[in-house]
Structure 1
Amino acid sequence: MAHYLSDGIVLRTYKLGETDRILHVLDPNRGKVRCVAKGVRKPGSRFGGRLEPYGHVHLQLYEGRSLDTITAAELIEAHEGVRADWVASACAATMAEACDHLAQEGERATAMFLLLKDALGVLAAGPERPAAVLDAFLMRLAVLEGFRPSLDACTTCGSTDDIASFAVGSGGVLCSRDTPAGLQRLAPDVHAGLRLVTEGSWAEVARGTEPLPRSVGALVRAYLTYHLATDLRAWAAVPRGAGT
């Protein structure tokens, strides 16, 4: 069995037997790595608290048939503040669940790793709008997966005039002429919010005492669910209120 090194982010952990724990780690070069930390739940474990969710870790592992085994672990960034704050933790859990769902074992995931690393760093800094950081992460993840929404030109005719709605199934905005009856009109502040979470800088997304319209988060969720075929369970715990 071959030994190898992994520099990744812990996406999730769950118990195995009485003392072990299984981890899913997002590695930029190997994609999702499923591994086991033996004895990690014993008092005085050599791994200590270095293998917690959302932590950026440097691991030494050896390959197994179904699970690789962690033999050494070094903590690079704990993101303890993210886990300690329930709003930030809910956002991070949703991000990690999305990556766990989309990352493939044995396939390079450098862009996804860097996106998650950046988003966790923004959450750790205590943003004014943590839910907006989550929305931005998810829309950018959709872009990485090949589903960039059209926000400036009608997806049917290409017109940039008289934008009236956002059609999830069509992949972006529609003009008045192509908006079907019954589709909710796109308010200017919602349109601006979609642009912000898709294209704005992390600083622009994170700051601001006013929350984004609730419709922005709802459209992000609908868009991700439709195009990436996943409805994230952790999403239900993310609050949508003042400052988020």
Structure 2
Amino acid sequence: MSTVILIPARYASTRYPGKPLVQLHGATGIAKSLIQRSWEVAKATPGVDAVYVCTDDDRIANAAKAFGADVLMTSEFAKNGTERCAEAVAQLPEDTDLVVNLQGDAPLTPVWFLTALIDAMKADPDLPVATPVLRCDAETLNNFREDRRARRVGGTTAVFNTYGHALYFSKEVVPYTGEDPATHDNTPVFHHVGVYAYRPAALKAYMSWPEGTLEKLEGLEQLRFLENGQSVACVQVEGRGRVFWELNNPVDVERIESVLKKEGTA
């Protein structure tokens, strides 16, 4: 099965303009851009045939090429990362079987999250779309709640049925637990990891649907699949003691750098 990782990145982020080029310092004090750190995760994933940064911005493209990445230029009209990946697929070989969307704001994504997702898609050829979910630990859940109290839109939570199919994704903390603050790691709240795996046909279908009401309200691209009756498999992954957090707001820079230093990541 031919597998390609695409890293969609745009400069004109509403909440954090220029985010892909934000510098993050690791354990050695060396600064690398957000997009480079995400690319390094993708390149470290076994069984992947190619990795591309997908963007419409020359600043991101030039920075990516400077650290050795292959780049696919997409249009300025892509509304989200999934649309950008759908545009990029047209530039890939026709025999591409699986497309993985590693969003460029998730440099703390462990490689085993990606391999678990790819393995799930390979094991079930009928799955059109899959995405990882991670049970929140107390620290992560409290970060979610801190962001909400500060009226910051941060990470995403997911709820799914007994078959592992998504019921909903939200920027709110769902399901409601009544526990504030969190004091243990056995919460029913799952953090949605910003990675997707698609069959090319699912991406083609996605582009044929208009932006949905829930997608607009939540600002979550994956809801377009659910609003059109398309199943999204939620693949449970394990943190193995690693902290996972995306860079959504400026306050997240310090959070991510503290993890990089703690983990000894250069």
TM-score of the superposed pair, with normalisation by structure 2: 0.27
Structure with more relative contact order (C-alpha pairs < 8 Å, separation 6 or more):
2
Structure with max Cα Rg: 1
TM-score of the superposed pair, with normalisation by structure 1: 0.29
